[in-house]
């Protein structure tokens, strides 16, 4: 398993057999209308409203826009399929959306990333944020249709955290990384989270992965604590890796920003999509993500999510 595998929507093993024809006529129509609008919005935005002026980067996103035009055409035809063929089409479409993210994460060259780091504007961020928000919405709508139950459920926070810790450890081991000590220090069994569990487990994976190298460098553990009140559950992740220089700290929310070099970029490190995508996934789940940089000491991450 590679890091790019983890970029894929964590829904592939959660769908059921799909609803029957009798059950889903109105449900299918609702989905198709939502997807047609999302695909149209993506095509228009990516092809016509891209504020990035570097031709190579603009070209990557323009090509994606053209792909969305084709997806729009395919969906118009697929909407008339019998149900089992429509379900098969949706599974292929979901996989295509995941490959799209892997593609856009890896296509920019070293010089592209260096240019973007110095030419990143609020307009650039809004453009990329809209693209990824619509992509997340698309994968959710498709996955929710394929799943027997709603993907939004109430879960025990401790179990979500334990699953994320185990997944992080597995990914690190499979990519020949040493595994830091990860401690779940406190958290009530009563703490709940209302969320799309695979999305939040992915957010936690990204955050734990980011703390891995500082923790290994300083031979210190990554500590997690779960704090809860009636409305909000907060998952606090703390490392003692020294924190980030100020010139780096304010850029971590930028898409495509990475401190990795070509020499140390690998399957676990260096694609520059983790933190901004974590922010969007958290917002999608009606939560918030805060990062407190303690220069010379470490970093506190506060992932706040609703309980209901």
Q: How far is 27 from 30, CA to CA, in rounded Å?
A: 5
Provide the edge-to-edge strand list for the sheet that holds 298-306.
182-186, 222-228, 232-239, 298-306, 288-294
pLDDT digits (tens, 9 = 90+) for 78-135: 988 998 899 999 999 999 998 998 888 888 998 999 999 999 999 999 999 999 999 9
Query: Which positions of the chain have pLDDT values less than 50?
Result: 1-8, 13, 15-18
- Model pLDDT, residue 123: 97
Question: Phi and psi at residue 154, in whole multiples of 5°?
Answer: -100, 130
pLDDT digits (tens, 9 = 90+) for 47-62: 999 999 999 999 999 9
- Model pLDDT, residue 31: 94
Instruction: Judge: domain 152-306, CATH 3.10.200.10.
Output: no
H-run or E-run covering 220: none
- Model pLDDT, residue 268: 63
Question: Phi and psi at residue 238, in whole multiples of 5°?
Answer: -125, 130
């Amino acid at each position: 398993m590679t890091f790019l595998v983890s970029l894929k929507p964590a829904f592939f093993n959660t769908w059921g057999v799909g609803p029957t024809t009798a059950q889903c006529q109105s449900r299918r129509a609702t989905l198709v209308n939502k997807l047609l609008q999302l695909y149209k919005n993506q095509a228009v935005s990516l092809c016509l409203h891209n504020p990035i002026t570097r031709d190579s980067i603009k070209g990557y996103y323009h090509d994606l826009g053209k792909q969305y035009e084709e997806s729009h055409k395919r969906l118009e035809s697929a909407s008339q399929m019998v149900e089992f063929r429509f379900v098969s089409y949706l599974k292929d479409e979901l996989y295509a959306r995941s490959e799209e993210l892997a593609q856009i994460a890896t296509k920019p060259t070293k010089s592209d990333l260096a240019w973007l780091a110095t030419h990143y504007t609020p307009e650039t961020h809004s453009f990329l944020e809209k693209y990824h928000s619509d992509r997340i919405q698309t994968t959710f709508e498709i996955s929710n249709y394929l799943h027997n139950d709603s993907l939004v459920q109430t879960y025990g926070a401790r179990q979500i955290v334990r699953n994320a810790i185990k997944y992080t450890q597995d990914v690190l081991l499979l990519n020949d990384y040493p595994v830091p000590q990860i401690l779940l220090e406190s958290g009530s069994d009563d703490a709940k989270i209302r969320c799309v569990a695979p999305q939040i487990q992915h957010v936690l994976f990204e955050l734990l992965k980011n703390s891995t190298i500082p923790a290994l460098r300083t031979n210190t553990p990554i500590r997690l604590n779960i704090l809860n009140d009636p409305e909000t559950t907060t998952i606090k992740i703390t490392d003692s890796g020294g924190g980030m220089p100020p010139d780096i700290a304010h850029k971590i929310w930028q898409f495509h920003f990475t401190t990795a070099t070509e020499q140390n970029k690998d399957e676990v490190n260096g694609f520059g999509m983790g933190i901004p995508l974590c922010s969007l996934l958290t917002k999608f789940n009606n939560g918030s993500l805060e990062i407190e940089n303690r220069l010379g000491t470490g970093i506190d991450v506060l992932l706040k999510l609703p309980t209901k």
